[in-house]
């Protein structure tokens, strides 16, 4: 623990290329690390393991160990896509380094695993054996048969930057309906087909871009601005594999921003929001078009859902609550968190 009494975290991140590094820095500004740091609950440092420097052999592992000895964190938070073939291992922190950090410095090691396919849980077990726990977004049923450490996986949600996303549902909103995020690559092109159907039916949907390849790249401010200024925010919920549903970070981004969430219905979302009360579920393109039209034409109904969703999200899923400290009790942060 630091002199301030706050836990000290060393974020250990991995980037395969300089471009990816830059992209991840931006992503972390608005979610994950960024959201936690904004809450002021911890002291932190981050260490980037740069795969493109791996030709230097053990150099980065030595640097990391030196950094950890010097900083003495309570927790090392490993953010990783962890496939660990021999080839890829060359660009990642060595498992021996993690072992020495845990064993010699007594630092707790927590992994943060995103967007895993079932079979990845085999290889993430290599990492998990060295960790105290891992946070993931997937439901237990998708990994329990693939990992030998099911109990070490703890389900959590994506946390988002209060400064960027928190909004008032009653504020004026210039965009009728929007979808912010990747369009390609999802099962059967359902995102692009859904958007196409909306346009064919004269629903003025806005798709400004996102982080996906082949998309217009938008800044974090722009990304959040669209949520804060859309009456309705769309969300599809399938995992990129198309095999299961997920509670996407977008459902929290939309509701915290005060937009009405019109979302592909599934159990995973219903775990956090009540359908037809906190958000409106849709099933298929036709249903999407009908509901989009209905809630655009009936603003009172839309507002009712948006307000309810925003309240639930603010009470339960805002970053400070999820990470551990209710910032609204802190007068200095209250304004920021109210959006």
Partner 1 sequence: MSGDTMLQKMLDSSYYSEDDALGTLRKKSMPRDQVVCKALIEMLIKEYPDISVDKTVSGLCSAGILPNIKHNSDTGKPRILITYYASTESERCEIEDYSNLIYVGPLKETGLAVVELFWYGPWMNVEPEEMNRLLFIRAEQFKPHILLIINGWLPELYEDKAWRFRLFTLFTIRTVLKVKIVPLLTDHAFEAFEESDMLAPFCDLLLTHEPPEVYQGYTRFFDRHRTVMEPVSVSLHASPERLRDIQILFIGGIEGYNNERKLGLEALKRAGLGVFVPGGRVHADGKKHLPNNEYISLLQRAKIVVNWSKSWNGTYSHAKVRIFEATLSGAMLLCEQCPPVDFYLDPLQEYIPFTGVEDLVQKAEYYLKNEGERLRIATNGHRRSMAEYSASVAWKARLKLLLDRSYFVESEAVESLTQYASRHEVAAGDCLLEYIQYRFPIEVYQQLVSIHSQIQKATLNPATWVMRASVAINAGKETEAKEALHEAIAITPDNSELALSYAMILVQAGDSEQAISVLEKLLEYRPDDANIRTHLGEILYLYGRHIEAEQQMRIALALEPTNSSALKIASKTEFSIDVSELTGFFAGNSSCLKRPLCLLLRYKFVPNSVLCQRGHEQLILTNSFRAYNIGTLTEYYLDSLFEQKGSCPEQSLLELVERIRPDILMVSSYEPDISGRHPSFSVLQAIRILYRIPLVAFWHDTCGTITRERYAPYINDSFDLHVLIDSDQFALHFPTAEVIRLMPPADPHLFYPQKEHDIEVSFVGSIAGHRSIRADYIAYLKQRNIPMVIAGGQVGNSILSWEEYASIIKRSKISLNFSESVDGERQVKARVLEALCSGSLLLESENPETSRFFEPMREYVPCTSPEDMHDKIRYYLANESERNAIAMNGYYKATACYNGNIFWIKILNRLKELGHLRDIK
Told to check if 296 binds partner 1 by CB under 8 A, we report no
Judged by CB under 8 A, the residue of 38, 43, 61, 268 near partner 1 is 61
Output the CA angle 240-155-279, nearest 5 degrees: 65
Task: Copy the structure tokens of residue 229.
Answer: 């200024």
Residue 193 interacts with partner 1 (CB under 8 A): yes or no? no
89 scored as a contact of partner 1 (CB under 8 A): yes
Closest CB 327 distance from partner 1, rounded Å: 12
Task: State the Cα–Cα distance between residues 3 and 158, nearest whole angstrom.
Answer: 29
Q: Which of 4, 62, 171, 221 binds partner 1 (CB under 8 A)?
A: 62
Does the protein bind partner 1 through residue 219 (CB under 8 A)? no
**Assigned token pair, 129:** 């054996």
Nearer to partner 1, 84 or 238 (CB): 84
From 43-51, 131-139, 208-216, 282-290, give the range in contact with partner 1 by CB under 8 A. Answer: 131-139
Exactly one of 4, 17, 115, 154 binds partner 1 (CB under 8 A); that residue is 154
Residues 17-46: b if buried by 16+ CB within 10 A, e if exposed: eeeebeebeeebbbbbbbbbbbbebbbbeb
From first CA to last CA, the distance across the chain in angstroms is 31
Q: Are 227 and 257 in contact (CB under 8 A)?
A: yes
Listed ranges 61-69, 177-185, 205-213, 259-267: which one lies at the site for partner 1 (CB under 8 A): 61-69
Going by the DSSP 8-state scheme, the letter that residue 257 receives in this structure is T
**List of residues 6+ apart from 287 with CB closer than 8 A:** none
Q: Which residues bind partner 1 (CB under 8 A)?
A: 7, 41-42, 55, 57-58, 61-62, 65-66, 69, 74-75, 77, 84, 86-87, 89-90, 94-97, 99-100, 102-104, 108-110, 125-126, 129-133, 135, 149, 151-152, 154-157, 317, 321-325
């Amino acid at each position: 623990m630091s002199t301030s009494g706050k836990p000290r975290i060393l974020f250990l991140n991995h980037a395969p290329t300089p471009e990816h590094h830059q992209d991840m820095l931006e992503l972390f500004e608005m979610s994950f690390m960024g959201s936690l740091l904004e809450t002021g609950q911890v002291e932190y440092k981050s260490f980037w393991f740069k795969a493109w420097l791996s030709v230097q052999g053990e150099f980065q592992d030595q640097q990391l160990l030196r950094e950890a000895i010097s900083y003495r964190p309570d927790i090392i938070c490993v953010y990783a896509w962890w496939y660990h073939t021999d080839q890829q291992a060359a660009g990642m922190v060595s498992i021996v380094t993690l072992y020495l950090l845990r064993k010699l410095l007594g630092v707790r090691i927590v992994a943060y695993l995103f967007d895993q396919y079932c079979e990845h849980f085999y290889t993430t077990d290599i990492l998990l054996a060295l960790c105290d726990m891992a946070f993931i977004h997937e439901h237990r049923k998708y990994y329990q048969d693939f990992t030998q450490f099911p109990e070490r996986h703890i389900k959590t949600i994506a946390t988002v930057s209060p400064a960027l996303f928190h909004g008032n549902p009653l504020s004026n909103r210039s965009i009728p309906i929007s979808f912010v995020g990747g369009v390609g690559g999802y099962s059967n092109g359902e995102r692009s087909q859904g958007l196409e159907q909306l346009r064919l039916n004269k629903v003025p949907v806005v798709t400004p871009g996102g982080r996906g390849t082949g998309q217009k790249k938008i800044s974090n401010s722009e990304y959040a601005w669209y949520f804060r200024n859309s009456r309705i925010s769309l969300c599809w919920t399938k995992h990129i594999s198309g095999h299961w549903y997920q509670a996407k970070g977008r459902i929290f981004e939309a509701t915290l921003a005060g937009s009405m969430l019109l979302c592909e219905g599934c159990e995973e979302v219903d775990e956090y929001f009540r359908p037809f009360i906190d958000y409106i579920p849709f099933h298929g393109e036709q249903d999407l078009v009908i509901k989009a039209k209905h809630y655009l034409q009936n603003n009172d109904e839309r507002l009712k859902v948006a307000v309810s969703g925003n309240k639930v999200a603010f009470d339960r899923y805002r970053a400070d609550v999820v990470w551990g400290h209710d910032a609204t009790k802190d007068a200095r942060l209250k304004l920021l968190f109210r959006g």
